Structures are given as C-alpha cells and as structure tokens.
Amino acid sequence: MSLVGVEVGPIYLAGLLRHTTPPPNIDNPHKRSDPFQFGTRYLSADDDIFSHNAWDHVTVDPAYDSFITAQTSFQRDNQVSDFDKRRFNEAPEKWWDKFYGNNATNFFKDRKWLVQEFPVLREVTRDGYGDVTVLEVGAGAGNTAFPLLEMNANAGMKLWACDYSRKAVELIRAQEAYVQQAEPVLRAEVWDAAGETLPPGLEAGTVDIVVLIFIFSALAPAQWERAVRNIWTLLKPGGEILFRDYGRGDLAQVRFKKGRYLEENFYVRGDGTRVYFFEEDELREIWSGNIFSERDGPRFDIVSLATDRRMLVNRQRKLKMYRCWMQGRFKKPADDEAVDISDIRKEAETG
C-alpha cells in the first residue's frame, strides 16, 4: 500500500532506519546520557534502542531516501494556491503574532543544550569575561535569552533579544526576570532580520555573537541575502554566528500533507507560520557568500557545519522518530583576514 501523501507515523519511519557502527575513533562505552549532547551516542547492532531517549548519527535506510523523494513529489503536486501563497508571504509576522498569542504559556522550555553545543555562551557569561554583546535573532518568547540572563555573571554582558513578532517581544518584556533586572542586561526589541534597518539601539559593527536558533528557516529564500547582509553589518570583525535549524528530510517535513508546499523545501504550517528545510551544502553556499552575485558581499568563514541526524525514542510507547537538524558556527573575518573567495577559486583553477 502506498504511503505517499498520508500522515506518516513514527513507527513507519522507525522501520526505515538502520543501526550504524561507531567510527573506529569513537570511544564512548558508557553512551553518554547528557541531554542533547551532539555526536556522542552511536547506535550499535547489539544496543537496546529503548535504553536511551536519543541516538546520534543514525544512518538512513535507502528506502527512507526514496520515500522522501516520493513524498516531496506529492507535496509539490499539491501545493498552496497562488492566493494563499500571497496571503502567507505578504505579512509573515502577523502569523507569528497569532502563534504567540495562542501559545503564550506553552513554550517556556529552557534550552539546556545551548552551552553544550555552543560553549562560547558559557564563556561570555563568566564573571570577569569583559565587555561582550550577544544578539539573538528570532528570540521568540525568550527561551534562549532568559537562560543566558539567569546564568550570567559577567558585568560587561549586553544581551539583545529581537523578533519580528510584536507579541513575542511583549511576552519577553512582561516576564518578571525582564522587568526586575537590577542592571539593564537584557533588552528586547521588535526587528525584522530581513528588513531595511538595524535593531533599535544597535549600531553597525557592535555585536560579538549572533544567535540564530530555528529562525533562518522562517525566512523565504528571497529574504536570505538581506538577512545575511544585516547580520554581517551588525557583527564586529571576528564576530561569529551560532546557528541551528531544520535539515532536509526531517520528520516535520515529510509529514506535511497536501496544501502546505510553498516552494522547494519551503512550507506553511497549519498555524500559518512558514518553515524551510536546509541541506548542508546549501548553507555553506549561503554563509560563504557563494549564493550571492556581488563580489563584495558578505562572506563568512565556515568554522564548523554539521548535519545532526537523530533517532528520538519514546521509551514508554516504544516509538522511534527520525529528526534532522543543521548546526554550525560562522565567523566574520577580521579586517586583516578578509579574502575574496572568487580569487581563491581563480588560483585553484590556474594552480
């Protein structure tokens, strides 16, 4: 029986995953149980799948890749109407306002994995670190901002939480931890990352770290260049981006049914918010500037970029789900490190 176009259940997805043997250089006999520790728990053939809540780097069965292709074809053939495409794309912020209005108390879940995946956030919050400005773009209701504020012991820390949803910013500003700040460490502002202006109160070249957690995927591909340019403008030379977002073939993507496809890898959820699913090479092209035509455009160094493929397990119900995320760090070159990538290509071609 064909499953293309129907709601895909986790049991079916589990059947398309196979165990993978750890690389020879991986020594993790105790299968570390730290929550969301990236890349530390490999699933071997003799492991009990339900002994942990998640497994890293699960190899996808070829049948699942075939299923993704077939499901994407179905979604493409049953895409959003032209009228609805205009409706969802013209003012995306209003759908996020509605989302945060409907879920005002449902998403204050601390991202405990933040300092595990991005240790620099622990460093900049330490007592005595010194002056540092951290900007979270797409801050939502403060799931990243408030944990950082709570752990901060650095008198020189300035933390900005920006979102293009006014409702989201209102939620941040209404929290007791925000209202009762003894010193103005955290500031929340409405800002469209793909707009024509910088965040209120922030000037060009003043930000040390930009945090992009599941926000770049909310932008349409036509907005990427403007957003990248804005972030480049805000960062100091040597400043960096901490990035995490959805990957191609994630469970959330393959489960979309008809009437959700906006354009390739770009969908609208049932609540009207949009989401894009990235591939690793695509992100390299975006952040290194190769996707943009201008030679003087922003060209970040790719410090790290990896695909985080996981099997998440519901041990009580004996269910397994396949997820795929992208995680990376991108650095704005210091003034004396800037190199035109097109020149490197020429040297490679002639060398």
Helices (H), 213-308: 224-234, 251-254, 280-287
Output the pTM of the full model: 0.80
pLDDT at 10: 39
pLDDT at 44: 56
- Residue where the block lists tokens 């354009």: 263
Q: Is residue 82 helix, strand or coil?
A: helix
Query: Rounded CA gap, 235 and 133, in Å?
Result: 10
Q: Which of 65, 58, 18 is nearest to 307 (CA)?
A: 58
> What ranges make up the beta strands (E) of the chain?
17-18, 54-56, 59-60, 132-137, 157-163, 186-190, 207-213, 235-246, 261-263, 266-268, 274-276, 301-314, 319-331
Query: Looking at residues 17-34, what average pLDDT do you find?
Result: 44
Query: Looking at residues 92-101, what average pLDDT do you find?
Result: 87
Q: Which of 212, 187, 180 is nearest to 201 (CA)?
A: 187
pLDDT at 1: 31
Those residues whose C-beta lies under 8 Å from the C-beta of residue 197, and which sit 6 or more positions away, are: 191
How confident is the model over 107-145, as pLDDT tens digits?
A: 555 677 788 889 999 999 999 999 999 999 999 988 899
pLDDT at 291: 81
Query: Rounded CA gap, 312 and 80, in Å?
Result: 30
Those residues whose C-beta lies under 8 Å from the C-beta of residue 264, and which sit 6 or more positions away, are: 76
* More confident: 344 or 268: 268
Angle at which helices 82-90 and 92-102 cross, to 10° = 70
One CATH from 3.60.110.10, 3.40.190.10, 3.40.50.150, 3.40.50.970 for 55-336: 3.40.50.150
Q: Which of 252, 94, 249 is nearest to 166 (CA)?
A: 94
Across 20-24, 32-36, 124-128, 252-256, least confident range: 20-24
Query: Rounded CA gap, 42 and 21, in Å?
Result: 7
pLDDT at 292: 79
186 has a pLDDT exceeding 90 = yes
49 has a pLDDT exceeding 70 = no
Q: Under a CB-based contact definition with an 8 Å cutoff, are residues 161 and 184 in contact?
A: no
Query: Looking at residues 239-254, what average pLDDT do you find?
Result: 94
Dmax (CA) of the chain: 63
* More confident: 5 or 250: 250
Across 47-56, 172-181, 318-327, least confident range: 47-56
pLDDT at 305: 96
Query: Looking at residues 298-317, what average pLDDT do you find?
Result: 81
pLDDT at 62: 75
Q: Which of 304, 305, 289 is nearest to 343 (CA)?
A: 289
**Average pLDDT in the chain:** 80
314 has a pLDDT exceeding 80 = no
Those residues whose C-beta lies under 8 Å from the C-beta of residue 292, and which sit 6 or more positions away, are: 225, 228, 298
Sequence ranges of the domains in the chain: 55-336
pLDDT at 304: 95
136: phi then psi, degrees, rounded to nearest 5 = -100, 125
pLDDT at 143: 87
